[in-house]
Amino acid sequence: MTEPKMVQKKPYVMEIEPGTYAWCSCGLSSKQPYCDGAHKTTDFKPLIEKVSEKKTVAWCGCKKTAKAPFCDGVHKRLP
């Protein structure tokens, strides 16, 4: 697997609490947008994001963002 699996062509917009989050970078997790360990059969690793305050985020759902783990709008240009 050289490219991540595209899960959806839009971000996962949600309000999150302070804490540490593991964003799925491979697209195989059944707990999107978070990692569930499904990457272990690939060379992908989750991206760890530490959040210090409650806020709304847009986790990338297409797995093509240049600003991982957050959406940069690239999904709008994908076929």
Q: What is the pTM of this model?
A: 0.94
Question: What confidence score (pLDDT) does residue 33 get?
Answer: 98
Task: State how far the alpha carbon of 52 is from the alpha carbons of 18, 49, 67, in Å.
Answer: 5, 10, 19
DSSP string, 5-71: PP--SS-EEEEE-SEEEEE-SSS--SSTTB--SGGGGSS--PEEEEE-S-EEEEE-SSS--SSTTB-
Cβ contact 41:76 at 8 Å:
no
Mean pLDDT over 9-25 rounds to 98
Question: What confidence score (pLDDT) does residue 63 get?
Answer: 98
pLDDT band of residue 26 (cuts 50, 70, 90) is very high
- Beta pairing class for 19-23 and 12-16: unpaired
Question: What confidence score (pLDDT) does residue 5 get?
Answer: 97
Every domain of the chain and the residues it spans: 12-77
Question: What confidence score (pLDDT) does residue 15 get?
Answer: 98
Question: What confidence score (pLDDT) does residue 18 get?
Answer: 98
